[in-house]
Structure 1
């Protein structure tokens, strides 16, 4: 599913990632843990093609059998929209749009017909227990509901992998517990692959594997 080799990242003279190697299998829930500043979010952004590594001769990054090493930016954007779903700590919903409209945005970017996109979005929101909230705007939803809308948005294009950066960091304990259980339900029902950056020990301990990052490397 995901294969990364010798991933380096510099910001100026500071080397944030120091030759990271990792392999993540389809259907795995993998937690990346470690202290602040270890490079976890930087690694997640590179896996999600939101940032680019400093390439080395033997660098490689492959997702779903596609090498991303030499893809031009326009093709990289298309790949990202079709194959990678994102969930952030601060859900990043657009406040002027309803839950349904927020979920549909990646599908519209992918040029899916409106009828098809809305049908899939309604199915996802219903699966996530939000069928009665589809026309509500983010300000009318609880924190847990907003994050479930963000999960539906991440799933709308049937991505190969979902990358989540501190997905429960802004939730109360009960909402966080529900979100964590939802990830495993999605994995079990849809074979979804998750890579989670988290400081939440409960979530990390639930994962199939924990990757511990220290000082820009995976131990």
Structure 2
């Protein structure tokens, strides 16, 4: 599902990633851990096509069967919206829209039918236990509910891969545990691949594989 070879990333004179190699299988849940500054989020952003690696003749990045390094920005944006989902520590919901409207946004950007999208969004929100919250705006939702809306938004286009960056970092213990279990339930139901950057050892250890980053590389 993901094949990355010789991923480098530098910002001016600071080398953040130092030749990362990574292979992730379909429907696998992989956690990435490491100290702050080890390069976890930078790697996640590159794997999620939110950033590009530094130029290197030997770098390769194949995602869902596509060589994303050859895509221009427009094609890459379309690919990202259709095939990749994102969950962040801070839910990044749009405050002026309801839960249902927030979930529908990626599908509407992809020009999918509005009525069909709303039906599918309601089904996902119901699956996530939010059937009675679809008309609430983010300010009327708890932290755990907001994060589940963000999960629903990540799912609406039926992405092959979901990237999560500290998804439970802003939640209390109970809400975090519920979110962690949800990822595994979703994998079992929808067969998606999950790549999760986290400092939460409980979540990291639940994954099929735990990768540890040290000084810009994956420790072996």
The TM-score, its normalising length taken from structure 1, stands at: 0.99
The 3-state SS of whatever aligns with 2:213 is strand
Task: State the match for 1:9 in structure 2.
Answer: 9
Task: State the match for 1:33 in structure 2.
Answer: 33
Task: State the match for 2:206 in structure 1.
Answer: 206
How far 1:148 moved relative to its partner?
A: 0.3
Task: State the match for 1:129 in structure 2.
Answer: 129
Once superposed, what is the RMSD of the aligned Cα atoms?
0.5
Unpaired segments ≥5 residues, structure 1: none
The 3-state SS of whatever aligns with 1:100 is helix
User: Contact between 1:7 and 1:55, CA under 8 Å: does it hold in 2?
Assistant: no
Question: Aligned partners of 2:161, 2:3: CA distance in 1, in Å?
Answer: 12
Question: Aligned partners of 1:129, 1:63: CA distance in 2, in Å?
Answer: 31
Moved segments of 4+, more than 2 Å: none
CA shift digits 1:61-95 (9 cap, x unpaired): 01111111110110000000001100000000000
User: Contact between 1:84 and 1:162, CA under 8 Å: does it hold in 2?
Assistant: yes
Unpaired segments ≥5 residues, structure 2: none
CA shift digits 1:107-128 (9 cap, x unpaired): 0110001101101100100000
The 3-state SS of whatever aligns with 1:92 is coil
Task: State the match for 2:104 in structure 1.
Answer: 104
Task: State the match for 1:47 in structure 2.
Answer: 47
Task: State the match for 1:180 in structure 2.
Answer: 180
Task: State the match for 1:81 in structure 2.
Answer: 81
- Worse-matched range after superposition: 67-76 or 170-179: 67-76
Task: State the match for 1:162 in structure 2.
Answer: 162
Question: Aligned partners of 1:62, 1:105: CA distance in 2, in Å?
Answer: 26
How far 1:209 moved relative to its partner?
A: 0.2
Task: State the match for 2:120 in structure 1.
Answer: 120
Question: Aligned partners of 2:46, 2:58: CA distance in 1, in Å?
Answer: 16
How far 1:55 moved relative to its partner?
A: 2.0
Task: State the match for 1:58 in structure 2.
Answer: 58
How far 1:5 moved relative to its partner?
A: 0.3
How far 1:192 moved relative to its partner?
A: 1.3
CA shift digits 1:133-186 (9 cap, x unpaired): 000000000000000000000000000100000000000000000000000000
The 3-state SS of whatever aligns with 1:170 is coil
